[in-house]
Amino acid sequence: MTEHVKHTGSCHCGAVRYEVELALDKPVISCNCSICGRSGSLLAFVPAAAFTLTQGEDALRDYQFNHHVIHHVFCTTCGIKPFARGKMPDGSPMVAVNVRCLDDVDLDALTIKKHDGKSV
């Protein structure tokens, strides 16, 4: 059974903090595209309504590439990419949370699904 739990997360320096409700009993995505592969992100996708940026909007910088549809944000102080903003296939707003940036999550307990983003 999928259980949505509230988690907190941040960039490395703590300038950017957020809360998110998500189910970590579902697989998280390890993508090998040019940006995810280089940054080592593990991603969980949630509706934008399940995500709250609690501090640091002013510390974020936006980076877009390729089709310019995903807003890859990073902290201007430490450079960490704690989440990205975009749209679900149905057009509704979503957030791709970098699970590595969540507080108190055992990464070894997660199920990881590989996604071949290089081929997309």
Helix, strand or coil for residue 23? coil
Q: Which residues, at least 6 apart from 87, have a Cβ–Cβ distance to it below 8 Å? A: 69, 93, 94
What is the side-by-side order of every strand in the sheet holding 60-63? 60-63, 71-75, 83-87, 93-98, 43-47, 28-31, 112-115
pLDDT for residue 1: 54
In tens, the pLDDT along 14-64 reads 999 999 999 999 999 998 888 888 888 999 999 999 999 999 999 999 988
Per DSSP, 55 falls in state E
Domain annotation for the chain: domains and CATH numbers = 5-115 (2.170.150.70)
Note the pTM of the prediction, 2 decimals: 0.91
In tens, the pLDDT along 63-120 reads 888 777 789 999 999 999 999 999 988 999 999 999 999 998 999 999 999 987 888 7
